[in-house]
Structure 1
């Protein structure tokens, strides 16, 4: 039976519950890390930012790009999943939101396989809806289809 997303008030960088947990968040495809939720991650752990920047820098020889996922272990039972689901960043003159729903969908499918392999629950802020400019009513069904419908527990944190 499919579980539903659990919504809690709190900090996604301090995921609740026991066992292996993955904190998922959306990154851009420019190698930029410096605004929004990533700042909270970097305040707790240097590894996700360092790994993301290295992944981008060495992208000619790896899978970096829209829809890709990078898992970074930050403690024995805690991982951070960098999901590339945003094309560029929003600037003063840009039109349209940088969010790419198809890329988030692809990344969530990969994340589901990794969560199953690790026996992990998934924790996240309202991914794709901050600086990426996405709408939760478009992101939530992707999470339901890719994760909770496959029995992977998901907790969304509203800070």
Structure 2
């Protein structure tokens, strides 16, 4: 069983050889405009365009909490849009992150990643604007990915992390 590797750096510039999947958490409202998605959009237009189309066609596309959409952005790099937060604001029902949706999405991601023979790269998903706690997210990543032999690298940005 492998463990999560932690590095300082930019998750949009994944380290290592082979096929890489950059995983991140999206909301279920079709909103794309704050947090890590901005870094993705600065590098590639495809993840945002695919997410917005997926949301527009949500009645037929399977868009919803726990769903995953893989978008190829380079020959060996994919982005996984994972629906893991309900809305975008903290309110009476708590923070936007939904741990059960992140867990379901990671489970789906594991199957996709195994098929590609890829490693997974991510920021501390669900912990920035989504308001989640890494102490609850990390065990989900371990159970769904690293215990299945999938290499995972988590990137901590220098200044402006979040």
Task: Pick the TM interval, shorter chain.
Answer: over 0.9
Residues of 1 paired with 2:111 and 2:8: CA distance?
A: 27
Aligned to 1:69: 68
Residues of 1 paired with 2:61 and 2:48: CA distance?
A: 17
Is 1:126 the counterpart of 2:124 in the alignment?
yes
TM-score, with length taken from structure 2: 0.95
Aligned to 1:24, the other structure's residue is in SS state strand
Output aligned runs, 1:9-158, within 5 Å: 9-90=8-89, 94-95=91-92, 96-158=94-156
Task: Compute the displacement of 1:62 (Å).
Answer: 1.2
Structure 2: gaps spanning 5 or more residues? 158-162
Aligned to 1:26, the other structure's residue is in SS state strand
Residues of 2 paired with 1:4 and 1:62: CA distance?
A: 33
Cα distance per residue 1:34-84 (max 9 Å; x no partner): 000000000000000000000000001110000000000001100000000
RMSD, matched Cα? 0.6
Structure 1: gaps spanning 5 or more residues? none
Moved over 6 A (4+): none
Residues of 1 paired with 2:78 and 2:8: CA distance?
A: 21
TM-score, with length taken from structure 1: 0.97
Residues of 2 paired with 1:74 and 1:56: CA distance?
A: 19
How many residue pairs end up in the alignment? 156
Residues of 2 paired with 1:52 and 1:81: CA distance?
A: 10
